[in-house]
Copies of this chain bind each other. A is one copy, B any other.
Amino acid sequence: MTRHAAPAPVMTIDGDEDTSKRRQIIDGARGVFMNLGFDGASMGEIARAAGVSKGTLYVYFADKNRLFEAIVEQECLEQGRVVFNFDPARDVETTLREFGCAYIQLLCRPDGGSAVRTVMAIAERMPDVGKRFYDNVIALTMERLGTYLKARADHGDLAMPDAELAAMQFMQVCQATLFQPYIFQARPAPAPAEIARVVDSGVRMFLAGYRAR
């Protein structure tokens, strides 16, 4: 899926094509892109950060756009790999509380916030990149949570007409006073206790609305 025209290593047994240079570039470039934004990042800076020459960048990526796309793709993969515990057998309150805290912690990690910020910033000029990130990261999480909620609804704990809407509502409610001050640099990343407090409040409101009577 993410295969590119990069030179294939000759003597590796397993198919990890992303080893060595290509991966090294992506790893180095991610930080630069995320810290400075697409326009703010220069290929020279990226080359330095990745520990390769500028020319090598172009051996593995056709141009700056493609390199950026690969970074976002990688970010999608990694953020998509984050697994929350949606075991349908677990009780709703604990599950939501744990998920909420983990989700906010992810969003408010320097990496998480930067990815959201950087991709959102470029979305107008590179809609495909924006859509891809939304689909593979945000919508994916929403779907997974939605599936869990539906399972609990079938189980009789919850009652809701639209599980995915409910999922997104919960994800949003958890952000409440946490994410926006952080992403706008109005406040530093929230402390775990603060997160717990806000998520707790969110869980209470969510359950008040959707608990089966």
Cross-chain contact of A121 among B120, B202, B206 (Cβ < 8 A): B120
Q: Roughly how many angstroms separate A178 CA and B181 CA in the complex, as a whole number?
A: 20
Inter-chain contacts of A177 with B (CB < 8 A):
142, 164-165, 168
Chain A 26-52 interface mask (CB, 8 Å, partner B; 1/0): 000000000111111000000000000
Q: A208 an interface residue at 8 Å Cβ cutoff?
A: yes
- At the interface with chain B, which of A3-11, A62-70, A83-91, A127-135? A127-135
Q: Roughly how many angstroms separate A9 CA and B111 CA in the complex, as a whole number?
A: 41
For the complex formed by this chain, how many copies does it contain in all? 4
Q: How many of chain A's residues touch chain B, expressed as a range? A: 35 or more
Chain A 53-71 interface mask (CB, 8 Å, partner B; 1/0): 0000000000000000000
Inter-chain contacts of A130 with B (CB < 8 A):
183-186
Question: Interface on A for B, CB 8 Å cutoff?
Answer: 35-40, 114, 117-125, 127, 130-131, 133-135, 138-139, 142, 162, 164-165, 168-169, 172-173, 175-177, 180-181, 183-186, 198, 201-202, 204-206, 208-210
